[in-house]
Structure 1
Amino acid sequence: MKIIDARLRPPLKDYLRCNLYRDPKKTQAWSDNFLMKLSPAAEQRDAALLYQEMDEAGVTLGVMTGRQSPDMGHVSNDDLMAIVTEQPGRFVGVAGVDGSNPAAALAEIERTVVNGNLHAAGMEPGCGDIPMYVDDARLYPIYQYCMEHGIPMFLMGGGGNGPDLSFSNPEHIDRVCRDFPHLTIVNMHGSYPWIPQVLFSCMCHSNMYLAPDMYMYNMPGVQDYVVAANGFLKDRFLFGSGYPYIPLKQAVDLFLDMPFREEVLPNILYRNMARVLGLDMD
């Protein structure tokens, strides 16, 4: 069975300069919340060990997202494009853009997605120099451009995605889905912890895909995600690890132990994300 990991940050290039790998004690402290221990690849910052870990877990592709955050670090899109070129069978890239400068964001999406080898655009508006909710009007030209050009938009919709808990409230991403009904939106971190609210939003808006990623593991409320994935979200729910916080083999094993219906697993493990990114469904 093929598996696409919707949120995998490898120990390569700019990622190594982010807090994820620069401060392993802090990363492990966060992993403790999920009852996890960092894998040897993450601890040793060793890409070769990660590739072994991916093979052992059966992860076919890892989706990498760019980042521009004063607190969490900077991952350049040039680095993502280089990784995709060097490891085309292992990774696909999502161009990270800074929504506080819409003109620059549009130029970057054109450079790296329309004319480059990245497959989508992504923003973390609450984590930038100027924290914004995802439904901030300043971001709307970016959504409009992506909708018109058929470019999926990955939004950090949950978890620690802003100065306070209000930034993960799904009412904000709900408005974006309403205002741009033909834009494919991937909600990273699945609007955790607002699970019932975001699931209702997904039921109302067929353009929202949900990737709870690391919040699927040993966290309260997971059973509600599973119920939705077995039903109305079977074609829009996405597997993700949140690596390096969650080791890949444990992520896959725990995910497969959840009470998903067998017939939906190919969709949520591979086909749904392949459809979002325009990859070969076979």
Structure 2
Amino acid sequence: MTTGPIIDIHAHVFPDAIAQKAAGSIGKFYGMTAKHCGTVRQLADEYGKAGICSGCIHSVAVTPQYIPAINRFIAETVRNDPGKFTGYAAIHPGAEDIPGLIDEVRSMGLKGFKIHPDMQQFALDSPEAMNMFSRIEGQMPVMIHTGDRRFEYSNPKRMKRVLDTFPHLICICAHLGGWSEWEDAWKTLAGYENVYVDTSSSLYAFTPEKGRDMIRHYSRERVLFGTDYPMWTPGEELDHFRKLELTDDETEKILYRNAAELLQLT
């Protein structure tokens, strides 16, 4: 198996002063315990241990008022170590000036947006969200937390309506397209040319054989490696991925090439 460069497409980081509390809140939301505290320094250390060369970092604005502070923090983190980090900006369908926000985050050097409908409490196909997507389409990619059987906000059927309406909206559907709704996700979302999925918070749920089958159903060109730090340890997530025993070409694309092209790092 190849051992080339590795990009983590899915990592959350927080300012040191609130990192422990923020990571704890995420864990509580899912009824789990986050394995790490969510600081930038700790993430960089974990990347060093795992041999991960770069990560796409982001955070979620639960309400619109948090957007400016989050985006300043993410942009500053990227500026401090541009070789290590790429940033996605926070956005919310309740933001007042989405076209202005797009221009602002682009000027800050951020490469896309991150949303979490379950935490932000909006349906993916609500009028407000569809308006937001109409503004983002053709401008920047958007990473979307998809799937959670406890809620109705982000299920694969809602995601499909977004994709059918906005064929030029580049979407990263996190957690293999639908956390805890993986079967529905691959039946619903595979085959869309504007969709990527990432492996974050998913591979633990499958046997290597099942995980390999799901990834191949989406195709090697549409899958990205993600760790979901601080919920999980990057090195352990990489171990889960290695156990899939994919081909060298599949491995190189998923661990590096697909993300490098999407993030415009090549």
- Give the alignment's TM-score, normalised by structure 1: 0.81
Find the aligned partners of 2:26 and 2:94 in 1 and give their Cα distance.
Answer: 30
- Whether 1:268 aligns to 2:258 is no
Correspondence 1:112 to 2:105: yes
Name the residue aligned to 1:155.
Answer: 144
1:17-45 Cα shifts (integer Å, max 9, x gaps): 65205x698599614xxxxx83xxx35x6
Are the equivalent residues in 2 in contact too, given 1:170–1:197 (CA < 8 A)? yes
Q: Please tell me whether the aligned partners of residues 93 and 119 of structure 1 are also in contact (alpha carbons under 8 angstroms).
A: yes
Matching of residues 51-130 of structure 1 within 5 Å: 51-69=44-62, 76-101=70-95, 103-113=96-106, 115-128=107-120
Q: Percent identity?
A: 20
Q: Quick check: 1:204 aligned with 2:206?
A: no
AA partner of residue 190 (structure 2):
M
Q: Is the 8 A contact 1:126 1:134 kept in 2?
A: no
**Residues 1-282 of structure 1: pairs in structure 2 closer than 5 A:** 1-10=4-13, 12-13=15-16, 16=19, 18-20=21-23, 26=28, 30-31=32-33, 38=35, 42=36, 47-69=40-62, 76-101=70-95, 103-113=96-106, 115-128=107-120, 131-149=121-139, 151-159=140-148, 164-189=150-175, 190-217=177-204, 219-220=205-206, 223-280=209-266
Q: Secondary structure at the match of 2:222?
A: coil
The CA distance in 2 between the partners of 1:193 and 1:46, in whole Å, is 27
Distance 1:11 1:141, change over 3 A: closer
Contact 1:230 1:260 survives alignment (8 Å) = no
The structural deviation recorded for 1:275 is 2.0
Deviations, residues 33-58 of structure 1 (Å, cap 9, x unaligned): xxxx83xxx35x66444323212211
- Alpha carbons 1:69, 1:127 under 8 Å: kept: yes
Pairwise CA distance, 1:249:
1.2
Following superposition, the deviation at residue 93 of structure 1 comes to 0.7
Deviation at 1:246, TM superposition (A): 1.1
Kept in 2: contact 1:156–1:187 (CA 8 A)? yes
Distance 1:251 1:109 in 2: 32
Amino acid at match of 2:32: W
CA distance 1:140–1:270, shift in 2 (3 Å): same
Deviation for aligned residue 1:6: 1.5
- Tell me the residue number matched to 1:34: none
Q: Please give the alpha-carbon distance, in whole angstroms, between the structure 2 residues aligned to 1:66 and 1:47.
A: 12
Q: Which runs of 5+ in 2 are unaligned?
A: none
**Cα distance in 2 for residues equivalent to 1:90 and 1:27:** 29
The structural deviation recorded for 1:195 is 1.5
Aligned residues: 259
Deviation at 1:143, TM superposition (A): 1.6
**Against the structure 1 CA distance between its residues 264 and 29, is the aligned structure 2 distance closer, same or farther, given a 3 Å change threshold?**
same
How far the C-alpha of 1:215 sits from its partner, in A, is: 2.0
Q: Secondary structure at the match of 2:152?
A: helix
Q: Cα deviations across residues 186-206 of structure 1 (Å, max 9, x unaligned)?
A: 112231222222112333312
CA RMSD in angstroms comes to: 2.8
